[in-house]
Amino acid sequence: MLRLLPLLLLLPVASASPLSTSIGIKYASIPSRFSPPAPSPFDPSLPYDTYGDVCFQNPDTFADAGQPNTTMSEDCLHLNVFTPESTSDSPLPVMFYIHGGGYTQGWSQQLDAAALARTQNAIVVNINYRLGALGFLPLYSLEREDADGATGGMNGVRDQIAALEWVQSNIHHFNGDPGSVTIFGESAGGVSVCYLATTARAEGLFKRAIMESGPCIGPWGFVESPKEAMAAGEAFMLSTGVTSLSKLREMDAEELMLGHHGDLINLSSHDNFLYAAGELPIDRLRAGKLNVDGGDGSMIVGCNTVDSMTMPPWVFMMGKSLPSTSAEFERKAKELFGWGHGGEVADFYLGMYDNATEAYQQVSADICVVCPTRTVVEELAEHIPVYQYLYAGGTADGRASHASELCALFVDDATHGQTCADIMMQDVTPDIEPVLQGYWGSFAAGGKPEGDVAWGEAGAGDFMRIGADTKMEGGGVGSGACEFWQTLKDEGLSEQRLKVACTLA
Ligand SMILES: *[C@@H]1O[C@H](CO)[C@@H](O)[C@H](O)[C@H]1NC(C)=O
Ligand SMILES: *[C@@H]1O[C@H](CO)[C@@H](O)[C@H](O)[C@H]1NC(C)=O
Ligand SMILES: *[C@@H]1O[C@H](CO)[C@@H](O)[C@H](O)[C@H]1NC(C)=O
């Protein structure tokens, strides 16, 4: 899952606004393919008025996205800074956005950051980072050549760290406060937030974090076994038809990403640098080894009600057919979870939903995103203040799909959200836009989300339902369903089954 997301969100960038934009700033270079990023010098006196190249991604899918006048290259480590007109001299909080796209797709300017910067009086920075095999390929040969013994499996996240270091050194040129940086990201961007919040390598680079629909323990998250991760990397190299690192470096980037090689490495995995071999993000999270403000910061963590690729528009793009009758649901559930557990899944979900298609969509959302999010919140809340949310969209049925909250967060100036809503096949949500933006912006400014409805900490499972009827609820997201899945796991349902189900569902 998570793969196709950002290709769709092609929002025009505002042309006229009381905002200064510096775009296409190069923050790092890549000395040689698959190497860690090397910081680039920054000259604040130069004009920055053209977006940089997009990081190389599968050219077929990129072309389908129809992004006009943008080229792809490997020299793509650029960021953009949106600075609101400020009447005060005191430095502004910085909101640092990491795009999603399953680590294989996406780019910095996909979503229009201007409105968020203006309404929240915050500096918004968005970035490119390396994707697919060019950013996430672990190889033994890379491990041997690297001074730190890093495998290359997290180079894309190391790019994000380089961008955060650029912010620390340079954001004062834009009247930004390097001591008040909030990182936020959705889908693979949310997973990145999870990594950045738990790796010691990002210590001191930000104060707060917002993790949207990307808990790093999803069945689709981190490759837990270093051996498996390395095997996937080596298998990828073989699939390209070469057997050495030097040949892989000589290969044309387009060729490397064509033939869907670019899709093959779609998972982040251990790299001996962000995490020691065998160490997992969730271990550090459980142990409270967090670097949000030296462990004193706070986080917003949440997901959407039907946070699944089985929802429109994804289901249409991926050409999936979903069960439409109870019998079909039951057959599918047994196929995915085994005869006994599949029967229990059918009883549980068909007991809750009249509509078999909607029941199935909820299964996918619960196992892939909602329940992992709940677990991450429970663990985090042991250590720091966490604000939990469930985004329910603007319609009365409260069904919000994967990524749909981005339409309310990044309302484009040109169409006031209509473009995004059209693409996401949902209604424009003008009432929710200021609510969501306001919570995110106040959190970035002061570490606590503020709004008309008071948002309490998640300690006891409390969460904010953000939607047509925004209100606090108890019990945690996915309450009932997640306990049900835990029971199945206790009865022997394997993580591997869930992993496969997330890929297929
Ligand atoms: C792309 O560039 C061409 C040539 O500069 C220009 O005519 C065209 O309007 C641009 N298209 C968009 C959508 O910006
Ligand atoms: C990437 O995703 C595809 C399709 O979802 C899957 O078949 C493949 O095994 C994944 N690659 C890795 C390295 O896990
Ligand atoms: C079931 O739900 C799906 C998805 O929301 C919808 O398209 C379909 O029309 C519904 N079927 C019935 C019989 O209501």
Evaluate: CB of 503 within 6 angstroms of ligand 2: yes
**CB 37 within 8 Å of CB 29:** yes
Q: What integer pLDDT is reported at residue 226 of this predicted model?
A: 85
Q: What integer pLDDT is reported at residue 270 of this predicted model?
A: 79
Residue whose C-alpha is closest to residue 268's, from 402, 102, 108, 144: 102
Q: What integer pLDDT is reported at residue 67 of this predicted model?
A: 58
Counted residue by residue, the chain has a size of 505
Q: What integer pLDDT is reported at residue 314 of this predicted model?
A: 86
pLDDT in tens, 202-247: 999 999 999 999 988 877 677 778 888 899 899 889 888 899 999 9
Evaluate: CB of 15 within 6 angstroms of ligand 1: no
Sign (positive or negative) of CA dihedral 313, 319, 325, 329:
negative
Q: What integer pLDDT is reported at residue 110 of this predicted model?
A: 86
Evaluate: CB of 45 within 6 angstroms of ligand 1: no
- Atom of ligand 3 at shortest distance to CA of 361? 4
Question: Residues with Cβ within 6 A of ligand 3?
Answer: 355, 357-358
Mutate to test the pocket of ligand 1, among 69, 70, 109, 419 (most ligand atoms within 8 A of CB): 69
HEC string of 150-163 equals CCCCCHHHHHHHHH
Q: How far is the CA of 169 from the centre of ligand 2 (A)?
A: 37
Contacts 24+ apart (CB under 8 A), 36-41: 36/146, 36/150, 36/155, 36/158, 37/77, 37/155, 37/158, 37/159, 37/162, 39/162, 39/165, 39/166, 40/77
Cα separation values, 93 from 87, 125, 160, 443, Å: 14, 11, 19, 10
Encoded tokens for 234: 């080596």
Q: What integer pLDDT is reported at residue 104 of this predicted model?
A: 87
pLDDT mean by block of 10 residues, the chain; 505 residues? 39 56 97 96 96 85 57 94 87 97 89 93 97 92 94 95 98 96 96 95 96 86 82 89 93 79 65 88 92 84 96 85 97 96 98 97 96 95 96 91 94 85 84 95 97 94 95 97 98 91 81
**CB 130 within 8 Å of CB 159:** yes
Q: Which ligand is nearest to the CA of 329?
A: 3
Q: What integer pLDDT is reported at residue 428 of this predicted model?
A: 84
**CB 139 within 8 Å of CB 152:** yes
Q: How far is the CA of 25 from the centre of ligand 1 (A)?
A: 21
Mutate to test the pocket of ligand 3, among 306, 350, 358 (most ligand atoms within 8 A of CB): 358
Q: What integer pLDDT is reported at residue 1 of this predicted model?
A: 36
Q: What integer pLDDT is reported at residue 218 of this predicted model?
A: 73
Ligand 1: residue whose CA is nearest its atom 2: 69
Question: How does strand 386-393 pair with strand 463-467?
Answer: parallel
Q: What integer pLDDT is reported at residue 417 of this predicted model?
A: 86
pLDDT in tens, 18-40: 789 999 999 999 999 999 999 99
**CB 423 within 8 Å of CB 402:** no
Q: How far is the CA of 17 from the centre of ligand 2 (A)?
A: 42
**CB 442 within 8 Å of CB 27:** no
**CB 28 within 8 Å of CB 39:** yes
pTM across the whole model: 0.93
Which residue has tokens 């998972």? 267
Q: How far is the CA of 264 from the centre of ligand 2 (A)?
A: 5
Q: What integer pLDDT is reported at residue 71 of this predicted model?
A: 86
Cα separation values, 443 from 105, 385, 395, 404, 469, Å: 28, 12, 25, 20, 21
Q: Name the superfamily (CATH) of residues 5-298.
A: Alpha/Beta hydrolase fold, catalytic domain (3.40.50.1820)
Residue whose C-alpha is closest to residue 353's, from 386, 326, 381, 335: 326
Which residue has tokens 């490397």? 256
